[in-house]
Structures are given as structure tokens and as C-alpha cells.
Amino acid sequence: MTDLQLALIALGALIIIAVVLFNWWQERKLHKETESRFVEPETDVLMDEDFRIDPHTVLRGDKREEPEEEEFVVRVRIQDDEPAPQVAPSYAAEPSLSVEEPEVKAAPAISESSVDQAPVRIDSAEDVAEEEAPAVYASTAASDLPPEQEPVAPAQSEEPVVNLGSATAPWDEPAAEPEQADAPESIALPADVDAQIDLSAILYLPRPYSGAALRQQFLNFSEIDKPVYAFGLDAFREWHLLTREQEQGEFTRCVCSLQMADRSGAVSREMLIRFQNAAEDIALNLGAQVEWQGAPDPLVYAQALDAFCIEVDKLVSLHIVQGSNGPFTGTKFRGLAEASGLVLGNDGAFHYRDEQGHTSFSLINQDSNPFNADMLRTVVIKGVVFQLDIPHVKNCTEVFNQMVLAARQMSHSLNANLVDDNYRQLTDTQIDRIRQQLKMLHAQMITRGIMPGGQTAARLFS
């Protein structure tokens, strides 16, 4: 082994010995501290010769101070010659009692012996506090009397005092509620009013009013920039829009409704407050009660409704532009349009209508000049546009397919090009993509409760 190894072994041994010695010293120090804290007593009381136990004291027991017993109240009733009141049996199930207090008469002088013989009842303080009726006294049992005395029987065996003649005390009877005025009969809104888009005020008139008088009141709504409708309920419980034709009729109810949004935006705070104040003023002038029907916060609801309209209010456009042959004549264009089922309307556009006469899609001039019969005889057209207004069509997918078919046939006959809004050629893939988007928008409107192509949609998207 080298010197380095021997030195390391020696150093390790010294460290171990030092640790052992340090532990021994710590243990010895702790042991001494423990002995100093717990000192053994010098004497043992049980081993002392002077210590003894007195058995007589243990058996007799020292008289200790007893705890205070519960306070009792002693009531004494002296039996006189007059018999005690009778107890009327009660079969009432209700806890309310009608209590009759017995008549108290002056008693003669009482001797000590008579007190001893009198029937006594001892009630605790808690029982006394709980009693609401006059005190009830009972005769004592024979076992409670001293052995040398005979029990004194009361005048009557029943326990008297409480007369349960009525199941309900007079003061417990519920007070008659004041008669309330008859609430106005709830009625349904007119069919033309939709809670989805309207804020309505129902006026319950105190007496029938003529249509002319009501129309005169509704002049307050003239400064509101959103559509306001007024309806009257006649004696046959039918609603009528208050037009000039209804001025001679009489109405017992009327409804004022404000459309909260349209394509121009949501109703403003100023217009909403003006409508509400006007309706309240009309009710005050007519002595009518007002019932509001609509959203709890009309302004917030109107803004949310407007945001929904912006999301689903889409217009599908298919453009037919001149091709290699140049512009096409108006006469040829009109013949092709009428052959596809489109009819020229007074607004200067061709319309394809359904069985109910509603417009499914339209065909307009690309340069925004309206069509008319005289113009189409001499004009040369560079392009036309097929348009489908999604919210106004019930079955937008079917109508879209009809419009695509008519546009393809016309473009082929005019030797023109069928393009989108960006004037890019329309392919079958792009058309299928548009068709899927139409289905999504249609589903959104139905989920909102606004049916595409319905009356509410026609008002909202106008």
C-alpha cells in the first residue's frame, strides 16, 4: 500500500472515532438534562403511617351543597260551594282555541287546615310561561296526601276551566281581503304583429272609442323613423289595422307596435324612448291601462336583431355579360326572358313569380337603367344580372337551381358569358359552393324563428 492510501485510511478512522465520541457525548448530556427535569418525590403519601381512611365517614357521606332545583310555582285553588265550570269536549283539529276565563269571586277567610285540604297543582316555571289561557287546576291524587288525611274530592271529577267551544278564536280569524279590481283580460296580439321583431303596447280602453279618435291620437308616432302599426279590436274580437276605412268603427282594445330593425339598421335609443313616451301619453289621454310586450331590454334586443340581419341578408347574383359577338339586342333578350317564365314589372325588372305571386328571383339591367317596353325595342344591352334575395324566398335551394338553369340557357342563346360578381367564369364547383351556403343561411333563419319568405322576413328585410 502507498503512503497516500495509508493516510486516507487513518483519516477515515479518525473521522469515525470522532463521530462516535460526539454521539456518546450528546447522549450523555441529554440523559443528565432529563434526570434534572424529573425529580423523584422524597415521600409517598400512601406509604405514610399517619394516613388512614375513616369508613364511617365514607358510608355516611359528607353533606354537600345540592344544586339549585328548578323553581316551581305553586297555585292553590280553594274549592267553594259553587261548582267549578264544566269542560266542553272539543273535537277540533286546529290548535287555535277560544278561551273563556271563569268568573272569579271573592273567597272567605282561609284557615291553615283548609289550605292543606285544598286541591293543589304544582306547575314548573316553563309550563307557566307556555300557558296562554287561565290557570287549570287539578285534584291531587290520594297518594300525594299525608297518610293521616283522607283525600278531598273536588266538587266535580272533570278538570274544568278551558272551554273549547270554537275551533278558532275570534282574533285568529283571517281578515277579509279587500276586493281587487278585475285585471284586464289577456288577449292575443294581431297576426301581423310578431314579438320577434316588434315592441308592442296593448291599450285596455275604459270604453269603446271610434277609429277616428284613435287615429287622431296616433299622430304622435309620425316622427318615428321606423315602421309603427296600430290595430283595433272590435266587438267581434277581430283585429283591424286602423286605416281610414276603420274610422267609423268602435274598438275596445288597441295595439301599437314598433318594428325594432330593418335593412336601414336598428332603432335608435331616441326613437325607442319617443315611441314609449308617446304610447304612455296616449294611454293617459284615453284613461287606458298599458301592457308592454316584447324584449326586457328593447334597445339591446334591437341591436342583436340588426346584427343577425346583417349576417343572413345575402343577395346571390349571376351576371350575363356580352361575349365575342358583342352586345345583344333588347328584343332578343326580352323574348328569351319571357320564354323562361319571367315577366316585366312596373319597377323596370323582370320577375319570376311562384304560385302565390311572390317574386322568386329577378332579372335587371347591368347598368341600372330600368327596362320598359319601348326601350327594349331599340336598346342594345351589354349585360344583365339574375338576383336571388335569400330572406324573401321560402325554398332558396330550389329557386337557386331554377335561376341557374334560366341563366345558363340565356347565356348560351345570347352567346354571352356567365360570371360571378368578380366577373370570373362560374363553374359547377362554384355553384355547388353557393348552394351549400344557401342551406346554411336558410337554417340560421329558421333557428332564429324567422321563416324565410314569410311575412316577418318581408318586413325585417325591407
Report the chain (462 residues): mean pLDDT per 10 consecutive residues: 87 93 89 72 58 56 49 46 47 41 44 43 45 42 44 45 41 46 69 94 95 91 91 94 93 95 95 95 94 94 96 94 90 94 94 92 92 92 95 93 95 93 92 94 93 93 92
Cβ contacts of 397 within 8 Å, gap of 6 or more: 435, 438, 439, 442
Task: Check residue 198 and give its pLDDT.
Answer: 96
The confidence score (pLDDT) of residue 45 equals 56
Of the candidates 279, 257, 129, 264, the one whose C-alpha atom is nearest the C-alpha of residue 196 is 257
pTM confidence score: 0.58
- Measured between its terminal Cα atoms, the distance across the chain in Å is 109
* Residue 94 CB-density burial (10 A; 0-12 exposed, 13-18 middle, 19+ buried): exposed
Cα–Cα dist 349/339, whole Å: 15
Confidence at residue 257, expressed as pLDDT on a 0 to 100 scale: 96
Predicted confidence at residue 2, as pLDDT, reads: 86
Domain limits, CATH 3.30.70, in the chain:
198-305
For 44-83, give one letter per residue: b (16+ CB within 10 A) or e. Answer: eeeeeeeeeeeeeeeeeeeeeeeeeeeeeeeeebebeeee
Q: Give the model's pLDDT for residue 41.
A: 57
| pLDDT score at 312 | 94
Within the chain, all domains assigned CATH 3.30.1400.10 are found at 313-460
Query: What CATH fold (topology level) applies to the domain 198-305?
Result: Alpha-Beta Plaits (3.30.70)
CATH class of 313-460: alpha beta
CA 305 – CA 267 distance, rounded (Å): 10
- pLDDT of 110 reads 43
Q: What is the pLDDT of residue 389?
A: 95
Which residue bears the cell 342583436?
304
Specify the pLDDT at position 181: 46
Paired with 417 in beta bridges are: 321
Q: How far apart are CA 235 and CA 250, in angstroms?
A: 8
